[in-house]
Structure 1
């Protein structure tokens, strides 16, 4: 009796394993790109140097107090993008921020430019928990 899996199933499993093995680094790279786009002041120690020397997502945690305070004065797209990023770090806080921005569903990301959409897409694709 042959209990081996079909080759196409094994190939798919290998592709998925390779994706998930690479996901933490890919997530960090997307996160860092997002922090560069949004502004270094919102992440980590808030400095350009801190952003440049960051080697893990932990080095670029969002500054939740500062973000919550500033949410009302930022441009609409900036609020949406930062809130979406925060939702990967802390779903409850990020969800509340998105709600304050008027976010009702994924189609609301249609208002973001391509660069920001790509960051959100990459973060979603490579998310492996915070």
Structure 2
């Protein structure tokens, strides 16, 4: 089982707004809070965003080696549609809009979102 994921971000406030909204909508609860970071937890797994003083660069590039995206389950197509509609207000934009919600193929109902720092999430609907 995955213990935690830590994402280094260039702007903590922006990351808390984007990730906090998304994670809490997906059922995660605020977990830890310190001057340079926040975390949200679901079960035994948590996700951290941290603005580390050791950070080099100001944007994540999902096309370079390293993390491409994080994928999360969403209960239904209805929930997926609601998240896609709300996402821009929290700094997320829809990727592959011309193929949404089947950009991953005809049997894969999902939304691909990217935030202002270049992080991508895939939201996969369990029921369509």
Please report the TM-score for the alignment, with normalisation by the length of structure 1: 0.30
As a proportion of its length, which structure holds more helix? 1
As a proportion of its length, which structure holds more strand? 2
Please report the TM-score for the alignment, with normalisation by the length of structure 2: 0.31
